[in-house]
Structure 1
Amino acid sequence: MSGTAWDAAAVVVAAGRGIRIGGDTPKQYRRVGGQAVLTRTLAALAAHDSILRIQPVIAPDAAAFYRACLADLDPPSRAKLEEPVEGGATRQQSVRAGLEALARSGGPALVLVHDAARPFVDGTLIDRAIAAGRDHQAAVPGVAVSDTIKVVAALAPGIGHVRETPARESLRAVQTPQAFAFAPLLDAHRRAAGAGLDAFTDDGALAEWAGLDVVVFEGDVRNRKITQAADLIAADRDFSTIPRIEAPAMTTYVTRLGTGFDVHAFTEGDHIWLGGVKIPVDRGVLAHSDGDVALHALTDALLGAIAEGDIGTHFPPSDEKWRGASSDRFLAHAVALVRERGGRIDHLDVTVLAETPRIGAHREAIRARIAAICGVPLTSVSIKATTTEKLGFVGRAEGLAAQAAATVRLPEVCAELDDAAETAERRS
């Protein structure tokens, strides 16, 4: 992808909730063509030679979603990413948080501010943004409008009086990335915050308020923003026809299913660990490590999906260094092995078998903890519980058990498949 001679940093605003699109997952973390919208946006910016640093701004509760996005980025792209910072209640507050983070690590001369929900940004548009930002303090991309625009005064919901019909020739629909000299933009944000103004939805408008000379450069009609469900469907269709950024053109994916099971007897104690969450009860479990049956079962499920043995192979109970070890280390190891294979974790499902403790009050905390360890969205983690109707050791409350299933996608080279098929055909 082409670049320019001027280095730049980018702030990617990904702290929104995306409520208009529906569902529990914010739009920037929804998948289009097999990758999250944010993954594609970050990859497009990181591929540009002149962008040396990217500062993501995310919602306070979106860390697991964000980590899942990173799993699909190649190492050179990830190397450009700064640690994400938490955004605010408004877009303006989120942009300022990103700018302040860049300032703490050494502010760049030029900054691009880009919406996470615009994954179609390409190198040519970034070139124009950097060039315009170099020549002016503030520059925003705009595309000509094709519809007639009316300025109206509302009479009632859905009805308004026409006040003005501006000439289309002078109108532009503004996009991102918007380019600014870093210091003046940061100063403008600080001044606006000091004045109690935080409702600017566009950094170009904030720059105008601050007295900066804002220019409009040529945007790109293909650089559309995902706002409605229909936009998400269209983006999924479009990206499905484009080779994936992280995979060679001759690579496809196959789905593997792994299962796991673990059991531990109760003993004296005052808590147990379950799904990475410490639950206070009137007993403990007898185990070499912390005895977390849910994480042990999940670890075996992931290892099984990639045919890497079982938890005892990697963490033998005969090794004293694992005595009392936190089981999140075991699960994180299995996740790392999946990632090293270029794999993607699609779904994790755990069933806990126990008369006690009741896990209903802890279910969401367990889901969140597993999602954080594995770097997957919360929606990819399922936790269920059942008893054994007073039957067996579980029914007698002598211990507890867990079974788990994990679905993983692993890359498989088409050429290798073709060679195998050809060999099989010759043998037949």
Structure 2
Amino acid sequence: MWRLKGLLTRMKTQLQAHQRAIPKLCAEIIKCLPKWTKDKCSPKCPVLRWAQYKAAVMEMMGIESLADEDFLKTSSQYLDHLGEILFVSSLTEPIVILAPNWLCTDVFGKVMAPKNFPIQHLRTVKDIVKKDEIQKVFQDVADIDLLITLLQEFQLCHTFDGQEFIIPGLLTQAMPPEKWQKTEDPTKTVYFGKQVQCADTTDMFSSGFFPRVQIRLMRQLKNRPLLWRDGAKCFDCNVESLIKLSPDGRAVNICVRSEQADKQSCRQMLEQIDNVINNVLDECSPGTTTEERVLSARALKEHREEVYSYGMDQIDKAEAGDGIVYHDILGFSEDVNDLLYGGRDDDGEEKEQGAVGNRHRQPKMYGHHNTIINAGDGAVFHMYEGAVGAVEQLQLEDSVSEASSDRLALE
């Protein structure tokens, strides 16, 4: 143990010796964070709304107003990138979390802790968390509505009425079989779908991937979806869709169907769900390589227990030939048009919108940083190797005079 401590001490010394200079305003804010945590808010809820944070900065600088509020926001984003604070800028009034560890440990920890953890944590009733339960667990937090706003911004929960909250990461129920049965007239019902799976054995989805997909579905779809631990069922006019996570958690299957054979609406819903999944993959698993496969329409219509699919190379080969693809395990052939578009439309032409089959999704690597937490659509908590973007224009502590820090002040 003493050797490990010695190594860590030497590494810390080396890192500090080569640490880059930071903007002067940011350095001053960092010095004040412990004091603000005690004086400006409660240590049990180290959060400031933008007006409070701005007032604290002006008090620190000894000024009465700011000449350039955007400059302060840019500085705060820089501190967010360093992990010194969390700057939630996607709200009408931004929120600043002075102690990121508080959010991760005292909030996320209590929300996501399993039942056997020896800490007070949220308990669900039929996979629902009531607001009273949140108030009970977080009784030390004065502003429960602010806490709920943070949970929603970091896409951990969703509510339709403000009193009952769905936290996908806490769902325990599996999909009941009766929720996806054969239709009254299977011969007229159109089925087709796609699969998004990890391309290699070394690839995997992050633990927050599918819960965040469920959050996005609740936010973006017109009708409230049904949710389970490993799936979701969505509705829209003449169309139903079923999204299922594979038992090993390495693939997502999307099936759409319409009893009225509304192929166009099926394609639109499939495209919408596919966009949600790809966007969440870019956020939660940016280094994961995935590939798409086409589900067997006949197997879907027959409601087989297993999911059967075709690789895109098989589809490409069939399209270049007679348009028929054969499944070795199932032992039957299918028309490529049925698989990709739900069959030909009445005018004899396939519609490209919502068609199954993006060939391959390469991992998206975001420059020099790794996404740790994404808050909503605007606030992002990153760990950067260095300062980038607009913050390069900020003054550095070692290269400017004290007087230049008055750039924010009105003369």
Same fold, TM exceeding 0.5?
Answer: no
Q: TM-score, length-normalised on structure 1? A: 0.20
Specify which structure has the higher proportion of strand.
1
Q: TM-score, length-normalised on structure 2? A: 0.21
